[in-house]
Amino acid sequence: MGHILKVQPVLKEKIWGGTKLRDVYGYDIPSDHTGEAWVISGHKSGDCPIVEGEYKGKTVSWMFENHRELFGNVEGDQFPLLVKIIDAKQDLSVQVHPDNEYAKIHENSLGKTESWYVLQADDGTDMVMGHYAKTKEEFIKDIEEDKYDELFNRFKIHKGDFFYIPAGTLHAICGGSLIYEAQQSSDITYRVYDYHRKGDDGKERELHVQQSIDCTKVPADLDQNKLFINTKLDHGSKTRYLKCEYLTVDHYLIEGSTEIKNDDPFQLVSVIDGEGTVNDMPIKKGDQFIICSDVDLVHYEGGLELMVTTL
């Protein structure tokens, strides 16, 4: 049968967070300012435990270190991917993430290329992605003169939108959105601008202006691919949103009994709606699990909406 590892998300409080991770997915949030669920992670800042089966209590990083064969024997000294669900009750800072080269030199970390699928969005919800500066000099000048409204590319988002955010892309999730985020396993964020917001200590939150200048791509690539590959399944459909050097992201709608061949070293699966079974294991909205490489066929039954991330 192979291994399917159900994991427990790690919840994180954020100044901009809310209660949707409890209200929508039933997670036991630590407060009414809970911003992130690291739903499948082997990162040291939020290492998810296995919740049942022979490896119950072990973490994702432990599994990757001690049973690499379950992950297709992929190379690397750390689990390569990280999946989050983000509840933005308020705007997140405008930020940028470094690429692998910069992150390795300055942070001893992987870089951070990521992607977003919009699970929910209130009417009129914005997103920031990219900027209008044509040169680094213009970019620096706008920052120094606080001309952020002129600098940032801001637009409306809707449920079901998908966005690819390569390292070096200026971006911000804005208040009123619930986001599925699939990314490289990195926790490096450089804040460019934070609305002069103050933390619990009464001081404005730390910015990383020089690092942001170093890492932001100028000029920005403001074009997003909106042509996605759709595949019909036995009883459902699959939409491929992204395949890049670091990760692959698919969306599945299952309506009945569907069998899928597993050709990946592993799959990170998030149940974003519905209920049913996977290889006879009961699953429901909010559940998170890893399909390991020793699973040849994945059999879904029920009415399910899934996000699946792999390499």
Q: Give the residue among 285, 1, 293, 286 at the shortest CA–CA distance from 302.
A: 285
Catalytic residue among 154, 191, 197, 205: 191
| Nearest by Cα to 37 from 14, 58, 55 | 14
Residue 232: beta bridge partners?
237
The SS3 of residue 9 is coil
Neighbours of 141 (CB within 10 A): 13
The residues near 274 (Cβ < 8 Å, ≥ 6 apart) are 254, 284, 285, 302, 303, 304, 305
| Residues 167 and 98 sit within 8 Å (Cβ to Cβ) | yes
Region at 2 (left for phi over 0; alpha for psi -120 to 50; beta for the rest): left
Alpha-carbon span 34 to 19, nearest angstrom: 6
The verdict on whether 154 is a catalytic residue reads no
Pairwise CA distance, residues 79 & 121, whole Å: 30
Q: Six-digit token pair at 180?
A: 């599925």
User: Using CA atoms, how far apart are residues 72 and 61, in angstroms rounded to an integer?
Assistant: 15
The residues carrying an active-site annotation are 191
